[in-house]
Every structure is written in structure tokens, then in C-alpha cells.
Amino acid sequence: MKDDTAVHPAPLPAAQPYRRIAVLGAGSWGTALAATLAEAGRDLRIWGRDAAVMAAINARHENPAYLPGVELPAGLRAEADLAAALEGAEAALIVVPSPGVRSIARALARHAAPGIPVAVCAKGIEAESGLLMTQVAEAELAGHPVGVISGPTFAREAALGHPTAATVAFPFAFTDRLEPAESPAVRMAASICTATFRAYVSDDLIGVEIGGAVKNVIAIACGMMTGLGYGENTRAALITRGLDEIKALAEALGGRRETVTGLSGTGDLVLTCSSPTSRNMALGQQLGLGVPRAECFDGAPVVVEGEINAGSITSLAARLGVPMPICDTVRSILQDGADPAVAFAALWSRPIEAEPRAMDLAFGHPAHSL
């Protein structure tokens, strides 16, 4: 017999996805995000500088330069003209390497409709200013809500429909908290969700961005130690202590430590530090093996975000008085030419510290004087 006294949960409020979205940047991650959004039913335009690649996406439904062999949704349309890509867009994503975010945001401001939300999908800290990527974009996009999408997301796997999750973070104004289903964060999350891509929502942009930026440097460290011949104990130690460095920097900037334990921190850190699919770990591994930087990746000009940002991250940390010994070690190798074996030996013989910060103690390491 049916139990008429059963309490049924109230229906969840519906969030209206953005109808037309422009993705600016046709690298591997930009293409994967565009494919995901098209699969979710969005009217999708992707922009890239290479007209030949844009033509291939339209004609062959494939990005032969960055995601060869991955079939892209037929509804995904590529544009080599930025204004055409942004025409009628209700939201936009910036998916270019971190040094290009400012110029793309400036160009977007000239062509996008006023007030549309913009999600930055680059990970890093601007070297000249010390600003996070959303802060860089905000400086060029007055009147536009600016947020970030970040998480443990290898592009090829996401484009192939492997179950993937990421965090969508935007500021939550007073009105957003009254009507969260109308907020840019929730609407963007609703826009990108498919049967295999799951989005979570956050209001902590700093925590999300710091996790995404610093994990790349920690991944280079893991790769270097792997290249030097060390195994899983070493990698686990670097991941764990690297996570503590991320938490400390995020907290110093006003972010939440809780955020760093989520997808954009722990999740992304574990993924990037665990597979040579990560360009950051792959670079570190080659350097640890003694391959000269110019010969890494068979001499191809591969953009490695952790290499770009190691200096800007450690400079920012120094200004804030936040110790980041793993990131400092990586920076010393990449920028000062320090020997990886010697640098990591020095890292391991630093003064002994307590793991709980509340204990606040340190004393000399016996190996330091050997």
C-alpha cells in the first residue's frame, strides 16, 4: 500500500543555462571545454588565432593541432574572427596561457555585449603585477562579472566524455545569495554540466585560483624527483607538503583553506602530480633526467604554466612572508640553474618543523651539517 504520509523533498530550483557561449582560445583545454559546452546543448563558438585550425574544426570536427583524433560535436562552430565569435554571446570563457589573459580580456571588452559574465580558465599569477588571472581580467573588463573554472581536468579525457568534475567560482553579491539560481556561478555551472561533466559552485575565487596556479609548480617538483630516480614515498611527501604551501598562500590572500582541499586544490594537485600527461610533471621529469631545457619535449615550444609562474608565485609569497620551500626549490632550478639533486637534498635537510602549525617549533636537521 502507498504510504501517503511520506514526505517528498521540495523540487530543486531550476537554473537557466546561458544559451550562446564564446570560448576564446582553441588549445587543448579550450577545445575540450568548447566540446563539453556544445555537448551540453549550448550554441557554441570557439575562437583561435590559427585560421587553418579553425577551418579544420568546422570541416572535419577535429582540432588536428591540439586534440588530434578526438571527434568534436557537429554543433561546435569555430571562428578566426574574434568579433564574430562573440556576436550574440551571453557568456564567454578565456582559455589561453596565463601571459595572454590581459590582452584577450582587453580585446573581449571591445566586442562583447555589456555585462556578460566571463570565466577565466587560465592558471597563474601575472609576473609584473602579482595579480591572479581573474584580477587581471577584471582590470580590463569593467562591468563584467569575472569568475574562474578550475579542477582536475586533462583535456583529452574531458573531450572524450570521461567522467570529469570542476569548480565554477564567481563572486556572490547580495542579490546572488537571495536568488542563487540567477547567479553567474550557478548559471555557468548549469551551462557546462553534461552526463559526464559535473560542475560544483564556489564563491572563493582566491582559493580556487591559488590551487590551480601553485599545483603546477609542485607537479614540476614531482617530475624532477621522478626523473632523479625516486619513487612513490617522495611524490606523496611533495603532494602533501605542497598542499600545505597552497593553503598557506591562499589563506594569506584571503582565500579559504577549505577550498584548497576541494577539486581545484587537492583534486588538481593529485592529478597533475601523478601523470606525465601533465606538461608540468613531464617537464620536471625530463629536467630531473638531465635533459637540457631547450631539448625537452623534443625541442617543441611547449607552454608549461608552472615554469612561467614559478617566479611570480614565489615573489608574491615572499612579499606576503609565506614560506614556500618546494616552490622556491623549483624556482631556483628553473631560473637560477641550481642542480636538481643538490637543491632537493637541501630541501630535505631543512630545519625540522611541526606539522600542526599551532605547535610553532623548529630545530636543526642533523643532516644539514653533514
Residue 265 to residue 216: CA distance in whole angstroms: 11
**Quick one: which H or E segment has residue 44?**
strand 43-47
- Helix boundaries (H) for the chain: 28-39, 51-60, 82-86, 101-111, 133-140, 155-159, 174-178, 184-192, 205-227, 232-252, 257-260, 268-272, 279-288, 305-320, 325-336, 340-348
Q: What is the dihedral of CA 122, 125, 126, 130, to 10 degrees?
A: 150
Residue 370 to residue 360: CA distance in whole angstroms: 26
Task: Using alpha carbons only, give the angle 33, 35, 41 rounded to the nearest 5 degrees.
Answer: 105
DSSP state of 200: E
Instruction: List active site positions.
Output: 215
Decide: helix, strand or coil at residue 182.
Answer: helix
Residue 193 to residue 114: CA distance in whole angstroms: 25
Residue 88 to residue 209: CA distance in whole angstroms: 28
The crossing angle, in degrees rounded to 10, of helices 340-348 and 205-227 is: 120
C-alpha pair distances (Å), 136 with each of 122, 139, 181, 250, 295: 11, 5, 27, 17, 32
Residue 347 to residue 49: CA distance in whole angstroms: 42
Residue 4 to residue 102: CA distance in whole angstroms: 59
Q: Can you name the residues that pair with 197 across neighbouring β-strands?
A: 164
Residue 166 to residue 189: CA distance in whole angstroms: 9
Query: What is the total residue count of the chain?
Result: 370
